[in-house]
Amino acid sequence: MKKIWNWYYGKASIRKKLIISYLILVILPILVLGMYSYYVSKKNLIRQTKHTMESNVDAISYSLQNDIQRETDNIKYLSYNAKLRGSLENGLKNRNALVKEMNDSVEPTFWYFIASDDKIKGIEIYSPYVKQSLGSFLKPLEGKEKRSWFRKNQNNFKTEWSVKDDRIYATRMILDSATSSTAIGYMRLEVFADEFLDGLFQSSYLNNGILLVDANGKKITERTIKDREINKNIYQHIEENREERIYETKKYILATSEKMDNGWKLYYYIDKSEISEQIREIMATTVLVMGLCLAVALIMMSVISKILSTRILQLKHGAEEISRGNFELKIEQGYSDEIGVVAESFREMCMKINQMMQDMYQLGLEKRKEELKALQAMMNPHFLYNCLSSIKWKAIRSDQDDIAEITGLLATFYRTALNGGRQITIVQNELENIKAYLQIQLKSHENNFDVEYQLDEAGGECQMPNFLLQPIVENAICHGADLCESERGKIKIEYIYGEEFLEFHVYNNGPKVVGEELERILNTPGKGYGIYNIRERIRMYYDEECGLYSSTTDEGMVCFSIKIRKEIENK
């Protein structure tokens, strides 16, 4: 964790810091909201499922209760038929009258009810007042006393519903017409089980299971679900005789109807795994929405972080440029916020540093000019010329021609070198200075090297810095021509007048100098006005296209070249 913090705090770029910070600030609320949304959606789904189950079980039980009530009313109505009750009481005494009454009045009424109610399968009347079956409905009670339905209705004046071998019956006692307290028979109404219970299975909700039990808790009909363990748990719940309207476990939800008039009860249950499918859909939707929110947030974070970090990166790049020495860099943002204030301060700092460097550079130039003036002042030109002239004429009068020639060359050399104390001369004077200097060197070296000139005639009046070529020629003699062993030394002076530039080339056939050594000579400060000072003086007066260069020709000669413009830019 500490490494991660150190990386984040000290090494990560500002844009990465912004993106990570935004991610933390955005992801946490999205995760919390997403989890809360999922929890609330799941809770609402469970609540809605329970409500739907309650509504479904109420609707189904209500429909079944209506059917039960209708058939109960039918059997009650038929059992109170006065003609039926009167003829039954006299059945043993007047069998023919009973038969006639059944055929003329009772049976047509029964057939009417059967025909008009598609759920009634049949009607049977059991009576102790008949010894054999009469017509379609009347049967003797003898032999039926041990049946369960008889025992259940023997002392019960209400309609009792029962199920036997998947057949559903409604049974009611027929009372005498005189006192309505003595049983004269029993009426049994059978309904079509499939049609009667069809309403239980017409609709399905989440592959629900249904269980219909009678007043004793015995199964009448059911529709099970795939999970057998849940089906078994429902039976255990019924055996425990719990009264909860809605009962929920980890695996299932159970809704129970109110008891119907005949004591029947309906159980409506679903497997929670069915709800899980919907919950997974909710989760998938939640994750999708969270993902879309994160994607949009990432895009916005990337754009915003780029906008914010761009200005900071500009400052960073500016600092890197300044570290490389570029103090002319302009950082202009034009904003008044904290970054804008820093950028403006940065720009002002660069301007001040650049101005200070220019001031120091100018001070250095002034110092060198003063040093040169001091040097020239030490050598009083008039005194020097007068002395050299006196020596020359004395030498001529004494027939010392060599001394006279050398003295004349020295006078020419110092006249062109000192240039009246001016820093600027013309090309013609500079070349005369070099010629005089080389003649002096030839005399002092007893002509042990050759000199060759290749000079353009044009451009003699062009201005150039004074005393620019002499240090290069001196270097060519001392480190070139004087060191030749296998051949005679040679110095070549070349002047080229170009369209934009003046070029001076000084060749020598001395020992070869490799590229690194040439660069060291050019870039290393030395004493006096050496090679390095020439380069610095050229930089003072000209732009970057001008300068001092070194090379080696195909013939093996070392060449130092000066390239300057026809006109001096900074006089």
Q: What is the mean predicted confidence (pLDDT) over 218-247?
A: 91
Does pLDDT of 531 surpass 90? Answer: no
Virtual torsion, Cα 537, 542, 546, 550, nearest 10 deg: 0
pLDDT, residue 513, reads 73
pLDDT, residue 242, reads 79
Q: Which of 557, 484, 558 is nearest to 518 (CA)?
A: 558
Q: What is the mean predicted confidence (pLDDT) over 441-459?
A: 92
pLDDT digit string, tens, across residues 422-439: 889 999 999 999 998 999
Question: In the structure, what pLDDT confidence band is assigned to residue 561 with cuts at 50, 70 and 90?
Answer: very high
Query: Residue 172 belongs to what H/E stretch?
Result: strand 167-175
pLDDT, residue 72, reads 96
Question: Which residue has better confidence, 350 or 372?
Answer: 350
Using only C-alpha atoms, the chain has a radius of gyration, in whole angstroms, of 63
**Contact present, 284 and 271 (Cβ < 8 Å):** no
Ranking 296-300, 315-319, 366-370 by mean pLDDT, the lowest is 366-370
Mean pLDDT (the chain) is: 85
Question: In the structure, what pLDDT confidence band is assigned to residue 416 with cuts at 50, 70 and 90?
Answer: low
pLDDT, residue 493, reads 96
Question: Which residue has better confidence, 396 or 252?
Answer: 252
pLDDT, residue 518, reads 66
Q: What is the mean predicted confidence (pLDDT) over 272-298?
A: 83
User: Per residue in 326-353, is it b (16+ CB within 10 Å) or e — as a string?
Assistant: ebebebebeeeeebeeebbebbeebeee
Sign of CA dihedral 434, 436, 438, 441: negative
pLDDT, residue 385, reads 61
pLDDT, residue 60, reads 95
- Quick one: what percent of the chain has pLDDT higher than 90? 40
pLDDT, residue 312, reads 76
For residue 196, CA distances in Å to 28, 66, 71, 213, 298 come to: 58, 11, 10, 14, 62
pLDDT, residue 451, reads 96
Greatest alpha-carbon span in the chain: 202
Question: Which residue has better confidence, 67 or 486?
Answer: 67
**Contact present, 229 and 223 (Cβ < 8 Å):** no
How buried is 196 (Cβ within 10 angstroms: 0-12 exposed, 13-18 middle, 19+ buried)? buried
Highest mean pLDDT out of 358-362, 460-464, 466-470: 460-464
Does pLDDT of 8 surpass 80? Answer: no
Q: What is the mean predicted confidence (pLDDT) over 120-129?
A: 94
Does pLDDT of 104 surpass 60? Answer: yes
Q: What is the mean predicted confidence (pLDDT) over 457-472?
A: 92
pLDDT, residue 376, reads 57
Between CA 368 and CA 350 the distance in angstroms is 27
Task: Identify the structural domains of the chain with CATH numbers, from first to last.
Answer: 55-196 (3.30.450.20), 204-274 (3.30.450.70), 422-565 (3.30.565.10)
Ranking 86-90, 114-118, 276-280 by mean pLDDT, the lowest is 276-280
Reduce the DSSP state of residue 160 to 3 states and report it. Answer: strand
DSSP state at residue 103: I
Beta-carbon neighbour count of residue 357 at 10 Å?
A: 12
pLDDT, residue 65, reads 96
Question: In the structure, what pLDDT confidence band is assigned to residue 417 with cuts at 50, 70 and 90?
Answer: low
Bridge partners of 495? 455, 504
Between CA 392 and CA 408 the distance in angstroms is 7
pLDDT, residue 234, reads 92
User: Per residue in 150-183, is it b (16+ CB within 10 Å) or e — as a string?
Assistant: beebeeeeebbbbbeeeebbbbbbbbebeeeeeb
Ranking 247-251, 492-496, 521-525 by mean pLDDT, the lowest is 521-525
Does pLDDT of 529 surpass 50? Answer: no
DSSP 240-270: TT---SEEE-SSEEEEEPPPPTTS-EEEEEE
Ranking 33-37, 478-482, 495-499, 516-520 by mean pLDDT, the lowest is 516-520
Query: Which tokens in the block code for residue 184?
Result: 């004269």
Question: In the structure, what pLDDT confidence band is assigned to residue 394 with cuts at 50, 70 and 90?
Answer: low
pLDDT, residue 353, reads 80
Between CA 129 and CA 140 the distance in angstroms is 7
State if pTM tops 0.75.
no
Question: In the structure, what pLDDT confidence band is assigned to residue 213 with cuts at 50, 70 and 90?
Answer: very high
pLDDT, residue 57, reads 95
Sign of CA dihedral 499, 503, 507, 513: negative
Between CA 570 and CA 457 the distance in angstroms is 26
pLDDT, residue 528, reads 38
Highest mean pLDDT out of 1-5, 28-32, 187-191, 338-342: 187-191
pLDDT, residue 280, reads 78
Q: What is the mean predicted confidence (pLDDT) over 266-284?
A: 86
